[in-house]
Structure 1
Amino acid sequence: MSEDYGPSWSQRLQEALGSVRQLGGRAWMAAFGIAVGCAALVALLNIGHSAAQHTRQMFQRLGSSLVLVSIDTPGVAAPPVRLSLAALPPAIVAAAPLAVSVAAARLGEVREALMVAGSTPALAQVLDLQIHSGRALSRHDDGALHVLLGAALAERWQAKPGDRLQLDNYLFDVIGILAQRGANPMLPIDLDQTVLMPLSALGRLASAGEVSAVLARGDDRGELAAIAQQLLDDLQAQLPALALSVQLPAQLLASMASQTQLLRWSLAGTAAIALLLGGVGIMNVMVMNVSQRRREIGVRLALGARGRDIAGLFLLEAVVLAAAAAFAGLLLGLAAAWGFVWLTGWGFAFDVRSLPAGVGSSLALALFFGLQPALAAARLQPVQALRDD
């Protein structure tokens, strides 16, 4: 018998499309589960891929060799923290203390409570600070009432180098504007919204805070964990009565990665449940379809159709239904992933694996759950099928 026996594939596809349209609303309700599962899977892969890209970008922005040592100051009645960063381990390229406070600020007619940070000129090397306009702080500014403004703060206040900024009861000269930095979750301050001044000048403010952290940059050729431990030991020897803790970019990124993984597993569970429910729904629809078309099946068999032709017909209808649902799920999943990434402020990174994974899983489930009804239709005897009312 010729391999070309029976209708062509284009004819079979047209027939399957017509049959699916005649199934009515119950078929599309069954396909809804496939669409939701496919959408969850596509969203899962694209959100995870975007999160991985964001993590890599954040690792670069944090600085792979940045070390933060937090100092737990005891209280207002305790002696001030005194640090010597002159003799640090050789693996430390640069280190700078950081004290943070809040001050009442005024520039012209604008008044606002601002975050104020005091440090040394080494902070520029540690954080790779760039100047947008004016100049940076240097050792010659020690004790002087000179400040740098963060980019967002300067834009909001329309400030420029040469302005005079009142902080509490003192007037400070704005000598420079920092370039845009972006948020760094490792730092206790947002440099774009902060006033930066020499550490000695911070002591003049009424609400001046003590040194609460030490920022350091390690040698890229060294092991960052070992460098951090050396710095921690050195500072702990200077401050034996205080509690110190160290933070590394890898620790922060590991925490973010675990949260992302939890999100991915949650979405994976949703996708699996929705896909399974959609597959069961398609099987129920196909069982009902076979039951309603028994006379048609009997006529086809009596006219020479083979069992595999009947099975292929119903399998193709299940696949067409699942393919339509998968296509809708792809669009929904991409939209959901883009919306989630947009809300979190990440950059959307498309994962090419999401398309074959979403469509492939949907079609595989359609074949799996549509196989039993298709085989049941293929096993019908022509005489018995034709006798059914």
Structure 2
Amino acid sequence: MIDYNKVLCPAIKEMKPSGIRKFFDIAQQLEGVISLGVGEPDFKTPWLIRQEAISTLEKGKTCYTANAGLIALREEIAKYFQRTIHTSYDPNKGIIVTVGGSEAIDLTIRCLIQPGDEVLIVEPSFVCYRPIVSLCGGVPVVIETKEENEFRLTADELREKITDKTKLLVLPYPNNPTGAIMRREDLEAIAKVLKDTNIMIASDEIYSELTYSGKHCSIAEIEGMRERTIVINGFSKSFAMTGWRLGFLGGPKEIVSQMLKLHQYAIMSSPTVSQYAAIVAMHSCQKDIDAMRNEYNIRRRFVVDSFNKLGLKCFAPQGAFYVFPCIKSTGMTSTDFCEKLVYTKKVAVVPGDAFGECGEGYVRVSYAYSLNHLREAIKRIGEFLEDIKNGNVQ
């Protein structure tokens, strides 16, 4: 009889399951649940993109592509980087098409981090950074951002955490779960702290197109930062292409060439049909992005206003499609609040501490759902808060 405890890698056994998936699974098992828990656009992938995928299949263009991705797609991505963040990457040596933004994150961390290296992780943030660092033998060092700073990373917070073992800064903006963004002046202050170090940056910009206050600014745009930054992005959020599993990264060719080796062995190449479709997305679908952003912005204003009216203080996010209301006034932990809400009122949201300990006292609510969906959910949350007030929630 095999003792699986002796076979499994200790680091994987210690890894906690995603707090996001837990509440998604609960919502799937209950009848009539309104789920505001998953960060997935409710829009269909634009028709031009789907049409190209159908055409690609009809033509039988289903073989492997180059490891780094179709050169035509990498050229469009290079144009996209130049157009949006005014940064040049060589489509032949500086760009890799990945299986979602998730693979790009994994590639970046695994190719840079060795045992003992410290990785600065801004939190609250997406759930995957810490586990990947730990699997590499790296040491996650959390930088807790604060609501009074609109959950932006400050230069002082960064400086305080840097040691001679610091190898990488994970900079996830626009932010999941808070919806925070970094302004150019914030990034310039961060750049001053980093300029005389060897610290690399993993800039996760998957929500860059969903910015509601001006234009997204990447730290790669700031003088002296391009050479130390891996820019991570993808098609899932901005183009409503979550199931197509396609992302991309851009960075210095000296780093990207090494990342490509791991990508070759672990993945071979990203989905071929998705890549052909993504060329059309990059080239012809900016109007679709703009339309979706405008709709998200309407929902954003509605949800923020609604939570504040309910007495749950809610920071007004400027990016992504999440709000992060504070539930400390209820006297409940984030997990208790979410569990009782889903079982009594059948509304699923995610506890803030799923995104780091500093998220305790908050919940993440996605507004990537229709206004009718959101109105009904807000109504039920209001009823839940009344029940708490009247002592009817045990």
Q: TM-score, normalised by structure 2?
A: 0.20
- Specify the structure having the higher radius of gyration (Cα): 1
Larger RCO (CA under 8 A, 6+ residues apart): 1
Q: Which structure has greater strand proportion? A: 1
Q: Which structure has greater helix proportion? A: 1
Q: TM-score, normalised by structure 1?
A: 0.20
